[in-house]
Amino acid sequence: MKRFLLTLLILSPLASHFSPVFSQKSESHNAEISRHLELFDDIYRRLDLYYVDTLSADTTIHWAIKSMLSHVDPFTQYYPEDDDELRQMATGKYAGIGSIIRYNQKEERAMIIEPYEGSPAQLAGVEAGDIILSIDEVDVLKKPTDEVSTMLRGEPGTSLQLRVKRMGKSSPLTFRITRKTIQTPTIPYYGMVADSIGYIYLANFTTGSTQIVRHAFTDLRSQGMHRLVLDLRDNPGGAIDEAVNIVNLFVQKGQKVVYTKGKLASSNREYFTTSEPLDTLTPIVILVNGSSASAAEILSGSLQDMDRAVIMGTRTYGKGLVQAIHEVPDRGNLKLTVSRYYIPSGRCIQAYDYRHLTEDGRVGTVPDSLTNVFYTRGGRPVRDGGGIKPDVESQQDSLSSLVYDAMQSDEMMAYVTQYRHEHPTIAPADEFVLSDEDYDNFVRHMAESKFESHRRTDEVMKVLREAARLEGCYEGAEAAFDSLEARLRPDLEGELLRQRDLIRPYVEDEIVSRYYYQRGRTQHLLRNDNVFEQAVELLRDEERYRRILKP
């Protein structure tokens, strides 16, 4: 905070050269900040002096910082010195054993969901479905996953003892694992998926992503690729430089890709393509969805504005904000929103207004009626204020909330773990199919597992019953409430049987990942991906592809 105030004080004399009014406003603003900091300091000192219990300064101040930043936007965050999340976010790297974990409610312990292929965990013999009992002889019962994750991480070259419970084993298994630097997969899978059509799934924009995309594209082209599906669905973004450099692979040198505008001149930047492109002619369809954000929106939006690619899927997240890293005292870091970005047509696609909340406290969005029209290089109309709207809208088949909860449940994971235990091998990822008999076994397992879905109808019924009691009309209507609740009671087994064709691929995907990891899961997902199939059809129809890119 002292460093922040110092910056303001240095800028104030410079501001006086522009306008006396601005100077007065700046001085008034600085005085207001000083007054509130004095108030905060006084309140904290009184707490420390008079409060019945001794307060931890680290904990209390951390809460205060976290609360303050929560009222700005969700992207402005403070990271203490020992928090390596920021480094992982920027580089895609961290030091650990290389596995994804989640909490198992029944076991009240963290569970291995997937060891990364080739990671220390996988090479040591750790498997998906293993329940973590202890780390270096420290019991992890009821410890939250973030705490367990911290215990698994450490300096490269250090080792830990991991003790797990595995289905089918009568006694726990113990592994000695040496930590190393883990690189999360930038491209979990790429390959030829149809006649002359290549596919690249880009999962994030971390340091080095451009070279990985370049390699994948070059390799596919050597295999006869003449058309490309670039999948950015669920890509949360990352480094803006990497997005610009990937755009540069497909457009000419010297093109403005994105520019930023902030409060300070130092936050205003323009980003151009700086090298000769890899390819400017290959037709490209980019897949996006509501979880495609930040750098993924810069890449897809820029190529849309330049009429270089057709965007397909659903509207993207709408993150038009840029963050910079500021070092703060105690070697911590503040990731701070410093500017908005604008893509070639001149539009900013920020969808959420964090400074003006709705009456019920939610973040408001810009309604379509208030957005502005811009134009692509070829004259096609596009809009700002709400993410990237696809040129061709298409969405995945959706599951009911009941079935979705079942697919995310511990009971579902238990079935997949059992299947893996009973089947040492399966068909290749792009060929595997769950038999009717095995699917019926899955339905039976879920029905007998006492799986409970957290349904909104249960919550609404509870509130409705309480309201009826308060209004004195519950006694006469109790039978009606019971009848309605019975009608609304979920029939999981019936739903799983009725939606067999829609649900089976989800079960298959989870099974395939146990044998072929993320690479195999992605490959298998494409077999039942209707959005991907539409992208392939579009690329095969050259006339329709060209027509979409015309004004």
**pLDDT reading at 479 higher than 60:** yes
- The catalytic position among 99, 119, 319, 509 is 319
Active site residue 294: yes
Encode pLDDT of 233-256 as tens digits: 999 999 999 999 999 999 999 999
Whether residue 351 has pLDDT greater than 50: yes
Query: Each residue of 151-163: pLDDT tens digit?
Result: 999 999 999 999 9
CA distances from 109 to 131, 148, 165, 462, 472 (A): 7, 9, 11, 31, 45
Among 13-22, 53-62, 270-279, name the one with the lowest average pLDDT.
13-22
Q: Are strands 180-183 and 93-96 parallel, antiparallel or unpaired?
A: antiparallel
Mean pLDDT of 476-491: 83
pTM: 0.86
Work out the average pLDDT over 363-376.
Answer: 86
Question: What is the token pair recorded at 385?
Answer: 């204020």
Find out whether 100 and 87 touch, Cβ atoms under 8 Å: no
For residues 53 and 71, give the distance between their C-alpha atoms in angstroms, rounded to a whole number: 28
Could you tell me which residues come within 8 angstroms of residue 17 by beta carbon, excluding any fewer than 6 positions away?
Answer: none
H or E element that contains 84: none
Tokens read off for 184:
């999360």
Distance CA 213, CA 221 (A): 12
The pLDDT > 70 percentage for the chain reads 95
- Looking at residue 539, its pLDDT comes to 98
Supply the DSSP string of 139-202, one letter for each residue: E-TT--HHHHHHHH---TT-EEEEEEE-TT-SS-EEEEEE-EEEE--S-SEEEEEETTEEEEE-
What pLDDT, on a 0 to 100 scale, did the predictor assign at position 456?
74
| SS3 call for 359 | coil
Q: Supply the pLDDT for residue 457.
A: 80
Residue pLDDT, tens place only, 297-315: 999 999 999 999 999 999 9
- Average predicted confidence (pLDDT) for the chain: 90
Kindly report, residue by residue over 404-451, the tens digit of the pLDDT.
Answer: 888 889 999 999 999 999 999 999 999 999 999 999 999 999 989 878
Catalytic residue among 73, 130, 305, 391: 305
- Please return the burial class of 263, using the count of CB atoms within 10 Å of its CB with bins 0-12, 13-18 and 19+: exposed
- The residue-averaged pLDDT of 508-530 equals 95
Q: Note the pLDDT of residue 23.
A: 58
3-state class (DSSP) for residue 390:
coil
The answer to whether the beta carbons of residues 287 and 532 sit under 8 Å apart is yes
Instruction: Determine whether 114 is exposed, middle or buried from the number of CB atoms within 10 Å of its CB (0-12, 13-18, 19+).
Output: buried
209 is a catalytic site residue? no
Q: Which of 99, 292, 294, 409 is catalytic?
A: 294
pLDDT in tens, 211-228: 999 999 999 999 999 999
pLDDT at residue number 25: 63
Q: List pLDDT tens digits, range 162-179.
A: 999 999 999 999 999 999
Give the position of tokens 């995907």.
Answer: 509
User: CA-CA distance, 203 to 185, in Å (whole number)?
Assistant: 7
**What's the Cα-to-Cα distance from 7 to each of 24, 336, 460, 478, 505, rounded to whole Å?**
17, 15, 52, 66, 56
Q: What is the pLDDT of residues 4-45, one digit of tens each?
A: 332 233 233 333 344 455 456 677 888 999 999 999 999 999
145 by Cβ neighbours in 10 Å (0-12 / 13-18 / 19+) ranks as middle
Q: Can you tell me the mean pLDDT for 100-125?
A: 96
pLDDT category of residue 521 using cuts at 50, 70 and 90: very high
Q: What is the pLDDT of residue 24?
A: 61
For residue 512 the two structure tokens come to 């395939």
Mean per-residue pLDDT, 468-493: 85
The mean per-residue pLDDT over the stretch 507-519 comes to 95
Q: Are 68 and 128 in contact (CB under 8 A)?
A: no
* Number of other residues whose CB lies within 10 A of the CB of residue 506: 19
